[in-house]
Every structure is written in structure tokens, then in C-alpha cells.
Amino acid sequence: MNIVVGAAIIAGGRLLAAQRAEPEELAGGWEFPGGKVDPGESDEDALLRECAEELGIRIALTARIGADWPLSLGGVLRVWTAAI
């Protein structure tokens, strides 16, 4: 099963989200920073790594939001709140 993690980063009373440009089937949709969990990696470590790679920031995870959110092709999304 593919696990994708996302960070709902809250700073200055604002929530960071990005609008996708590609691929075409996802263009215009909104997403949180994050990405796929690599084999042998914890969800939390993957999220810290992805934010460092994508945004060049270090985050602190505060709480997991809800349960697994089903994605296409049998994957799941897991989201945490976070602070920079």
C-alpha cells in the first residue's frame, strides 16, 4: 500500500497549501506539502524529510488529523498539523 503524508503547516494564523499545476488530471487541486513514505521510513520521518526537501524548512509535527484518507490505486493519505 502506498502511504502519502501531508503537513498542515500553520504559521501566523495562516495555513500553507499549494495549488497543483500538474499532472493535468490534478491541475487546479490543492495540496499540503509532503509526499510518499519510502520503504523502512516512518510516516513522521518521511514528512520531516519531504518538507526539508521541498521547502527547505524544518517543521515540528503537533498532531495527526483524523484517520487514513483513501487515495486512488489503494493508497492512503495521512495528515499532521505542524509548525515551522
Category of 73 on φ-ψ map: left (φ > 0), alpha (ψ -120 to 50) or beta = left
Is residue 74 predicted with pLDDT exceeding 90?
no
**41 band by pLDDT with thresholds 50, 70 and 90:** very high
Is 0.75 surpassed by the pTM of this model?
Answer: yes
Mean per-residue pLDDT over the chain, rounded = 95
